[in-house]
A and B are shown apart, each in its own frame.
Chain A
């Protein structure tokens, strides 16, 4: 298996420095009166598994289509592995594998015929093609279905086949638009496992998805986009801190919650305080307060503090806090 093109750059994640796989500078796209993308500055490093998050109509698909050379930007520029997506479109197409959110398949072909067809379209020599098809089928777990008609495959398997098609010419960058949409839980988990394996092999993956809990565990970096504008871009772990959404504490007191809420709400550093399941949920500003302040306020006010712990904010909650739910 070592001579398989997909395996060649297995060492890449440890060896390569963080050279940008994708860079956009002031990227904008306007459809008539509507601005789908506005001055997007985005950097994705090599071997990143990069989550692209936003509501419907936020501009995710437009960005991915520009990177896939299907759309030209109205202004600004985008580079994929150092190549301009407009000027070097042919070169870029060789470097990327793009999977749209709703893509069609030739239902009247067999699985191997389908992949062989796309291999031929990428000018892969016929001597190499057979082995490449077998390897990508093994990678996506479709070896047993190699002779099946595509029309007879389930949605999850067709999605895997779409991923196999994307991999057939061994691209360095994968652009996956909602790859897990419409999949049942098992197929979704399997798809995520395949993506992690691809990242381990050194592929750079940009994945747009609405299932933020999965992106949180899957991706090392992410970007949040709303109404065509970038709200956050960076490590998944740093999204809470960088987004200034505040810190959340869970508090239990034995002297009455109402009095404790009064004390907390009187402080300007406290953004929000509420009661949930008999406990208090307190949100304080990032730069002005920490758990010590919460404890001090309660103890000085005469409350008996039983429990105080910081709650780790999930990507979903951060997303809801930093976006306003606006679409184009």
Chain B
């Protein structure tokens, strides 16, 4: 096996980007800051309780990151090579399919493992405070690392199976959501309904594995045995995903010898017209009314997303109906918890989809050549941004409406007799709806920004996710922990306000950066557009037009 060339190439490119050191630094800093914050909370008093809360919170955060690692790091690892036509060339060399898969995994795993390893020492700090044993930390670390491997392998498999970036990331996300949350939730539903625990099914779930990792062998040998079986199954699943990836990548190698930009049929290249060999949808409209084109050209919604969204929505409605029909019972409480979980899945799902389409939309425009036409059309960055936003909102209007309706239903569920007053329902409605609106709008802007800055759609999606969604999720953790550990109302109010202030500032800053970067990105594009057209005379015409639209770009 020649593992080094592919891994070396990937690491070389990553090293040039220079984000690895910062990723490690911020991971460790986040862990230390979180630990310090909890330590300074006055209400807890008992160090054993604090250490347990800190450990569990960080372990679950790391698990969440491990579950997302595949969609964030590997889901487009081979897809991009397929689209750009570089993968087929590797098959002319001595590399085998396994070499390529293993090399990709080794390179992408390095960055993710760096991040996780940076936090591991902080994860072990609670051992010194008591309340958490060394065995628990070691087993949690093993569970997180094998989940990371599984997630990266599933991501790679998705990138082998799908050529399109959105499809491969959607497949990876849904795969990990099913494994991570779906199986455990399904096991929980079965337990609630029948009273028996379907461990055989849950052993495929990383979430259940992490939960079981906390059982001491001398206290709960059965649960400990379940942890071991789950660990082996996750490792086997990861190996299977890698093997399937290697077989599939070999089988379809002939499809990937040329870039997606190559003309599929002579007719397509002839109709491409002014942009040479590239095929641009609705080219006439793009030339005559670029803003109209931006609003009208909607990309198809991935079928996997559509199907998953429909299933989760149906499950949410069913759970809400159960909760409303059985007031004051245990079943109602269980159904409400399930409702909350499913609503969170709907929120996260639609937000991730927004991040995906926003980053990929402008990236596709660049690949098809439409961006060049937009730059020279003179409609300006603000209208390009608005046009993209309109198109995405138009495309996903029914999904957004559904999530808002679900938010109303959730408010109705919590205000139902025996759970909460009207103020609780209003809080759920307002907070949920406001966050959906603010997050979605910011994701669109920031997604466009990174889509314009990064040629690699996976990097653009990762940046968007890390800068918009993840900080908010992490920032709310101390508030949640303080709430769980019984902090005073004053502490909670201060922490809540601080979180809101930090989030608002971060979002405002992200929006401002997005606006400036999009404007600068367009100027830079105008100055150095590659214009990868066959026709060098057309290319020069484009350059002149771009210079006329953006005179300041000449000096950029």
Give the interface of A toward B (CB within 8 A). 56-57, 65, 68, 70-71, 93-94, 96, 98, 100-109, 113, 117-118, 120-123, 151, 155, 165, 169, 181-182, 184, 327
A93 to B93 CA separation, bound complex (whole angstroms): 7
| Distance A113 CA – B93 CA, assembled complex (angstroms) | 16
- What are 19 A-B contacts with C-beta separation under 8 Å? A68-B92, A100-B88, A100-B257, A100-B258, A101-B258, A102-B259, A103-B257, A103-B258, A104-B81, A105-B84, A106-B9, A106-B13, A106-B86, A118-B89, A118-B93, A120-B5, A122-B94, A123-B94, A182-B534
| Given A103-B259, A121-B2; A57-B89 close (CB under 8 Å) | no
Q: Which residues of A contact B12 (CB under 8 A)?
A: 109, 113
Sorted nearest first, the 10 A-B pairs with minimum C-beta distance are A104-B85, A102-B262, A121-B93, A104-B84, A182-B534, A120-B5, A104-B86, A56-B266, A104-B259, A184-B536
Q: Which residues of B are found within 8 Å of A120, using beta-carbon distances?
A: 2, 4-5, 8
Given B9, B257, B261, B536, which contacts A109 in the complex, CB threshold below 8 Å? B9
Q: How far is the CB of B491 from chain A (nearest CB, A)?
A: 48
Residue B314 is within 8 A (CB to CB) of chain A in the complex? no
A165 touches B94 (CB 8 A): no
Residue of A nearest to B259 (CB): A104
Q: Which of A68, A107, A155, A165 contacts B455 (CB 8 A)?
A: A107
Question: Does B233 sit within 8 A of A, measured CB to CB?
Answer: no
Task: Report the Cα distance A182→B531, complex, angstroms.
Answer: 12
Given A104-B84, A108-B13, does the pair A98, B262 have CB atoms closer than 8 Å? no
Asked if B322 is at the interface (CB within 8 A of a chain A CB), the reply is no
A69 — nearest CB in chain B belongs to which residue?
Answer: B92
In the complex, the chain A residue whose C-beta lies closest to that of B89 is A103
Q: For residue A104, which residues in chain B have a CB less than 8 angstroms away from its CB?
A: 81, 84-86, 89, 258-259
Q: Name the contact of B13 in the complex, choosing from A109, A155, A184 (C-beta under 8 A).
A: A109
The residue in chain A whose Cβ has the minimal distance to the Cβ of B253 is A70
**Bound CA–CA A181/B258 (angstroms):** 14
Judged by a CB distance under 8 angstroms, whether B125 is at the interface is: no
CB within 8 Å of A: which of B77-122? 81, 84-86, 88-95
Cβ A122 vs Cβ B93 within 8 A: yes
A interface, by DSSP: helix, strand, loop or mixed? loop
A65-B254, A101-B258, A102-B259 in contact; A121/B5 too (CB < 8 A)? yes
Are B85 and A103 closer than 8 Å at their CB atoms?
Answer: yes
CA distance A165 to B95 in the complex (A): 15
Q: Mark B39-83, 1 if CB is under 8 A from A, else 0.
A: 000000000000000000000000000000000000000000100
A219 to chain B, nearest CB (A): 23
B532 within 8 A of A: yes
Cβ–Cβ contact B5 & A117, under 8 A: yes
The interface residues of chain B lying within 8 Å CB-to-CB of A65 are: 254, 257
CB distance from B98 to the nearest CB of A (A): 14
Q: Which residues of B contact A121 (CB under 8 A)?
A: 2, 5-6, 90, 93-95
Residues of A near B456 (CB, < 8 A) are 108
B17 nearest CB neighbor, chain A only: A108
Give the chain B neighbours of A327 by CB distance below 8 A: 266
A165 touches which of B13, B81, B89, B536 (Cβ 8 Å): B89
B16 interfacial by beta-carbon distance below 8 Å: yes
Q: Chain B residues near A103 (CB, 8 Å)?
A: 85-86, 89, 257-259
Other A-B contacts than A100-B88, A121-B6, A182-B534, 18 sampled, CB-CB below 8 A, are: A57-B266, A65-B257, A93-B92, A94-B94, A96-B92, A98-B92, A100-B85, A101-B262, A102-B258, A103-B89, A104-B86, A104-B259, A106-B86, A107-B455, A108-B13, A113-B12, A121-B95, A122-B94
Find the B residue at minimum CB distance from A182: B534
Q: Mark B1-44, 1 if CB is under 8 A from A, else 0.
A: 01011101100110010000000000000000000000000000
- B532 surroundings in chain A (CB, below 8 A): 155
Rounded to whole angstroms, the CA-CA distance of A47 and B530 in the bound complex is 37
CA gap between A58 and B6 in the complex, in Å: 36
CA distance A100 to B90 in the complex (A): 13
Q: Which residues of A contact B533 (CB under 8 A)?
A: 182
Q: Which residues of A contact B92 (CB under 8 A)?
A: 68, 93, 96, 98
CB distance from A157 to the nearest CB of B (A): 12
Chain B residues whose C-beta falls within 8 Å of the C-beta of A100 in the assembled complex: 85, 88, 257-258, 262
A124 to B372, CA, bound (A): 41
Residue in contact with A70 in the complex, picked from B2, B88, B93, B259, CB distance below 8 Å = B88
